[in-house]
Amino acid sequence: MAMTIDRLVETEPEDVGLSSARLANVSRVIHRAVDEGKVPGGMVLVGRHGKVAFFDTYGSMDLEAGKPLAEDTIFRIYSMTKPIVSVALMTLYEEGLFQIDEPVSKYIPQLKGLKVMAGGTAEAPVLRDPVREMNIRDILSHTSGLAGGPGDVNGVSQIYKRDGIPGLSAENQTLATMIDKLANAPLVFDPGTAWLYSIATNVVGRLAEVLSGQTLDRFLQERIFQPLGMVDTGFQVPADQVHRFAANYERDDAGKLKLLDAPQTSNYLKPQSFFSGTGGLVSTMADYTRFARMLANGGELDGARVIGPRTLSFMASNHLADGKDMAEMNLGGYSEISRWGQGFGLGFSVLLDPAKSGTVGTVGEYGWSGAAGTTFFISPGEDMFVVFMTQLMRAQPLRRELRTTVYGAIEV
């Protein structure tokens, strides 16, 4: 089983305390999944002590066209957009433009006076006042009371759907028009009292627009993409780059791969006006590795300081009430894996207790995943960063196997 080694690799695994022989298990996991038809293809990168020590790509970016994955393949990263947008907003925090315990309505007045849905139905909701307003920490940590994620707890997501409140994409809408609609919808719960995966990062994106005076796409370009040299990351795939854009798949009822979104007809080729902070970006392995390396390096890469190390450490701390983990506070709707032992910071999940989580790792590890199977994590304790790319909706099992094999390769 040949391993692909190319220009992304900078050092031998043994030079950074990793075992080449045991890293072969990472390849075996991906190759086996591809060969068994569980994923179309997979690409993984492991870096430690600031250097990329392992890269492997295997399988297809477009099964119908018979195109193999390439180093420069463009992927839908979906919720891996959230950490990028959250870091970008926190650069404004460093400028003293807001505090995280301030009400969101201080900067987005339309969100003043939101009610909590206490009963009834989407057609006839029973509403009450919240214990307190939604604050900026809440929208960064998914404790806001907003809905719109996978699942519906009490009918609020139905209201979003009825009223056309977008999460991922929308024609003829903007983050500003989303806020206008959101202002008329209730909250699921009192802010700060529960964890529910939601469209909150769209509100984070809108807050960045309000504070910066720029649209989110321009703001991200200025604060993140340009400083880091992320040349292929954005809300749209340029027409002349469609040949690099991966097809996206799902599993049919028989478990077979089924084409969900073809590159040539994807909405990602169209100009966007709704810049979804929740999950609107596309990126490449090289680009997202630049972002991950910046995080692993304390907020700086190749002389470009994106965010301060203390601010980043603050973001990667558990911000859930009373030090609880996601499982203790989760209302439902997001159950990719057990969330016991994992807290949530300002844009990332945070590993609190590996034994409780049931997954190998180090305390303080942080990261997040995307709906099409992509994932990344940073381990400050191991000085390690890992990025994985594929294009299969809800390809969760491979992520856990990836973690197991990567951590198993650490020797020193």
3-state helix, strand, coil in the chain (%, to 5): 35, 20, 45
Mean pLDDT of the residues in the chain? 94
201 contacts: CB under 8 Å, gap ≥ 6: 81, 82, 85, 86, 139, 140, 277, 278, 347
**Residues 284-327: tens digit of each pLDDT:** 999 999 999 999 999 999 999 999 999 999 999 999 999 999 99
Instruction: Write out the residue range of the structural domain in which residue 120 sits.
Output: 88-212
Q: Does pLDDT of 3 surpass 50?
A: no
Q: Which residue has the tokens 């390809």?
A: 395
In a domain, 372, yes or no: no
In a domain, 347, yes or no: no
Looking at residue 290, its pLDDT comes to 97
Q: Where are the alpha helices (DSSP H) in 142-272?
A: 156-163, 175-182, 200-212, 216-220, 226-228
In the predicted model, what is the mean pLDDT of residues 114-123? 95
In a domain, 147, yes or no: yes
pTM of the model: 0.96
In a domain, 141, yes or no: yes
Q: Does pLDDT of 149 surpass 70?
A: no
Looking at residue 2, its pLDDT comes to 31
If we measure between CA atoms, which residue out of 207, 205, 202, 216 comes closest to residue 272? 216
**Other CB atoms within 10 Å distance of the CB of residue 188:** 25
Kindly report the CATH number assigned to the domain that includes residue 146: 3.40.710.10
In the predicted model, what is the mean pLDDT of residues 151-161? 83
In a domain, 125, yes or no: yes
Residue 1 pLDDT level (bands cut at 50, 70, 90): very low
**Residues 60-101: tens digit of each pLDDT:** 999 999 999 999 999 999 999 999 999 999 999 999 999 999
**Other CB atoms within 10 Å distance of the CB of residue 87:** 24
Give the total number of structural domains in the chain. Answer: 1
Integer Cα distance of 364 and 346 in angstroms: 13
Looking at residue 152, its pLDDT comes to 66
In a domain, 186, yes or no: yes
In the predicted model, what is the mean pLDDT of residues 212-222? 98
Higher pLDDT, 26 or 4: 26
Q: Residues 80, 370: contact at Cβ < 8 Å?
A: yes
Looking at residue 231, its pLDDT comes to 97
**Residues 229-246: tens digit of each pLDDT:** 999 999 999 999 999 999
Looking at residue 338, its pLDDT comes to 60
Q: Residues 284, 45: contact at Cβ < 8 Å?
A: no
If we measure between CA atoms, which residue out of 87, 90, 15, 26 comes closest to residue 52? 15
In a domain, 11, yes or no: no
Q: Does pLDDT of 108 surpass 50?
A: yes
In a domain, 62, yes or no: no
